[in-house]
Amino acid sequence: MLAASLSINDIALHELDGFSQTQRGQLLTRVESDLSHFVAGAAPIIEAVARDGDVALVRFAREFDKADITGSGVEARRADFDEAFSMLDREMIGTLEYAADNIRRFHEAQLPAEIWMKEIKPGVLVGERYTPVDSVALYSPRGKGSFPSATLMTAIPATVARVPMPIILTPAGPDGKIDAATLVAARLAGIERVYKAGGAVAVAAAAFGTQTVPRCCKFEGPGSPWVAAAKHLLHGKIGSRVSAGPSESIVMADDSADPRLAALDLLIESEHGSDSSAFLITWSREIAEAARAVIPEFWKEMGKRRVEYSRDVLSGARGGIVLTRDRQQAYDFINDYAPEHLQIHSKTPFEHLGHIRNAAEILLGEHAPGSIANYLMGPNAVLPTGGAARYGSGLSVHDFQKATSIGHVTAAGYAEMAPHAHRFASYEGFDAHANAVSPLRERAPLKTDMPT
Active site residues: 340-341
For the chain, the distance separating the N- and C-terminal CA atoms, rounded to the nearest angstrom, is 96
- Using DSSP's 3-state secondary structure scheme, residue 408 falls into strand
Please tell me what DSSP assigns to residue 11.
Answer: S
Q: Is 342 left (phi over 0), alpha (psi -120 to 50) or beta?
A: beta
Q: How far apart are CA 301 and CA 124, in angstroms?
A: 65
Angstrom distances, CA of residue 223 to CA of 124, 132, 293: 46, 24, 35
Length of the chain: 452
- Using DSSP's 3-state secondary structure scheme, residue 137 falls into strand
Interacting residues of 361 by C-beta distance below 8 A, sequence separation 6+? 340, 341, 342, 373, 379, 381, 383, 394
Interacting residues of 197 by C-beta distance below 8 A, sequence separation 6+? 57, 60, 61, 74, 169, 170, 171, 205, 213
Q: How far apart are CA 299 and CA 306, in angstroms?
A: 9
Q: How far apart are CA 28 and CA 387, in angstroms?
A: 9
| Residue 159 and residue 400 in contact, taking contact as beta carbons nearer than 8 Å | no
Burial 260-277 (b: 16+ CB within 10 A, else e): bbbbbbbbbbbbbbebbb
Q: How far apart are CA 6 and CA 276, in angstroms?
A: 19
Q: How many of the other CB atoms lie within 10 Å of CB of 304?
A: 10
Please tell me what DSSP assigns to residue 75.
Answer: B
Q: How far apart are CA 50 and CA 106, in angstroms?
A: 37
Element (H, E) at 187: helix 180-189
